[in-house]
Structure 1
Amino acid sequence: MGRIVLLFFILLGGPVQGAVPEDPFGSPMWEYNLNRYLGEGREVVLDERVVLTVPPFAEDSAQVPLTLDLSGFPGEVDEIVTWIDLNPIPHLFTLTPGATPTRLISLNFRVQQATTVRAAVRDRHGVWHIGSAYVDAAGGGCTAPSLTAANPDWESNFGTIRGGAFSQVPGVRYKFSVMHPMDSGMVGDVPAFHIESVRLAVPGADEPLLSMTLSQSAAENPMFVFELERQPAGAMLWLRDNNGNVFERRLGGGA
């Protein structure tokens, strides 16, 4: 009787604890990366409401734009994890939203070869909703030397943040870039040197608007875009790299 009930539940499309749906892209790293980044025994469903967009072909393998649109995703989000299946370091970022829902995230990344890209969104019930996209590429983006560090004047501009907050109805759009070489650690004699933490917060608030951890797959001189559902009174941006450098800027509440 139990097997009949389980089969009926699967036919209705409900998630089964620990079950892994078939990857529509057929990546050899599908189950491995699910276990690596989401843990074993988790519930996973493919969800078209997790809209992940990358270009069909990476014209520049060191600067590939990624946009994650959650405007059509119902309910609250506890955590977001993104990764690039076939990169030497697949993880791109993990983001924890605050009380104000984050509905759009955009960031450039590096790609080493043609690969599937993933975004996993965990809801309040602990279920991971997966969106995927495929980018073709000539490759080599993860092992290409930084152009920023090759500039003799880069140290004078190191850590410079440009951008601000832009009003939307409803909500707010934060867009900013930071001058940083974001060395992947995969170029000879050049150690990993990258921004590893990003936080947006309203001064005095109990919790941040969002917190993000970055890995070496993020592109150099990263440009971030965050769209929040509601506009706070103001926000401070705080970033830290793996060498302990800290960068801060007030982004305000509108422009």
Structure 2
Amino acid sequence: MRTGATGSFDEGLPTSADALASAGAVARSMEALASGRSLVSVMTALTGQVAGAAGWTGEDRSVLLADLDRVIDGLSVVRGAVLVADRDAGAWRGAGDRSFEAARGRTCGVGVRAAGAQVRQAEQLDAAPAAAAAVTAGLITIGHAAVLGKVAATGTAVQRQALADPAVQEALVEVAQRQDAGTFQITVDRWAATVDPDGLERDHQARRAERYLHLTHASTGTFLKGRLDTIAGHRLALALEALTLARRRTTTVARASAARTR
């Protein structure tokens, strides 16, 4: 190896290890692309095969639906991994898009809002790898993983640190296997509250501080705009529901009275 005043002759050149890693990455990408094309072919075939699903037995439909649910959830995890890698690579910046979500929405045609939801889901799955792995293994649904991922990605510092422990994630995944996603959300909320009760109180106070309610009266009607905490929102919903029921009863009574006087 020759050297000079500016350093070694081969400084900065790729090593054999770099070359092997690059070759491996290329091979894996080619395999993934081939698998993706196979998925498209399978989807196309299934589209025709399910045309007569109305004539199947209920058991056959249930079996296929269960398989499809698992595949769709698992592919969401796969897409999430690719989205995170694509975001971090930064190649999207050269197209003039204001954000990765905007770039994603433009290239896949779903728009910024839907793309944002995809990216958030990807970030949450990336923050909870044990949950993501459980989805692809068919142990839990993407809904369960989203519950854990949200805490892992956007919880308080104490909560994120606790959930970063693989043993904690695995324990919660075991619980998730015995509960539906809605019940699991309640379980994780309670767990998060015990892990960081001070953070829970701070979040509660922050939500209360963000509350507002505006009523605007115009000739075309009254407009309601605002943001309420969960409890106040529930109470408002009950009040509106009670008002709607009262109006329906009043209308029913008036119609019945009118019918009797005819």
What TM-score do you get using the length of structure 1 for normalisation? Answer: 0.23
Which of the two has higher C-alpha Rg?
Answer: 2
What TM-score do you get using the length of structure 2 for normalisation? Answer: 0.22
- Judging by fraction of residues, say which structure has more helix: 2
